[in-house]
């Protein structure tokens, strides 16, 4: 899960440690770099570039077991994976394309906006 928090000074991770301290005090289990929320391991990551910030700004609202949540759209998920690189991330991006979860025109627009060089076929 990407989050936007106000960092103070040079330490961009300091706000995350405060969130973990708060969560622990509220009874959430902190396990390695994850918080267990309703039994689901959630990793908090700072929004580290304009692409991730845009992904958060356009996140869609959903209902998860009666709890409102915001979820990054598949186009931004693919763009973040392609930008980060690595075989496993490219495989996950391709899987989203294969199942038809991605609107390819919108994905191409996101890739162009953030100068990510990737060819997206019209079919997967």
Instruction: Say if residues 23 and 36 touch (Cβ distance below 8 Å).
Output: no
Q: What is the pLDDT of residue 13?
A: 65
Q: Give, in order, the Cα–Cα distances in Å from 30 to each of 3, 13, 45, 124.
A: 17, 16, 14, 39
pLDDT beneath 50, residues of the chain: none
Domain coverage including residue 113: 48-124
Q: What is the pLDDT of residue 15?
A: 72
Q: What is the pLDDT of residue 102?
A: 93
**Domain co-membership, 42 together with 73:** no
Q: What is the pLDDT of residue 20?
A: 82
Question: pTM value?
Answer: 0.75
User: Which tokens sit at 120?
Assistant: 């997206």
Alpha-carbon dihedral 53, 110, 118, 104, rounded to 10 degrees: 130
Q: What is the pLDDT of residue 70?
A: 86
Q: What is the pLDDT of residue 9?
A: 58
Half-sphere exposure of 22 (CA within 13 A, CB side): 6
Q: What is the pLDDT of residue 1?
A: 63
**Domain co-membership, 112 together with 54:** yes
**Domain co-membership, 27 together with 82:** no
């Amino acid at each position: 899960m990407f989050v936007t928090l106000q960092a103070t000074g040079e330490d961009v991770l300091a706000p995350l440690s405060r969130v973990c301290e708060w969560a622990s005090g509220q009874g959430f289990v902190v396990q390695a770099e994850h918080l267990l929320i309703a039994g689901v391991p959630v990793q908090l990551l700072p929004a580290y570039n304009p692409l991730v910030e845009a992904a958060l700004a356009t996140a869609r609202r959903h209902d998860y077991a009666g709890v409102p949540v915001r979820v990054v759209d598949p186009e931004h998920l693919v763009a973040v994976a392609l930008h980060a690189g690595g075989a496993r991330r490219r495989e996950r991006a391709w899987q989203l394309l294969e199942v038809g979860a991605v609107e390819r025109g919108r994905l191409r627009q996101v890739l162009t906006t953030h100068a990510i060089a990737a060819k997206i076929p019209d079919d997967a």
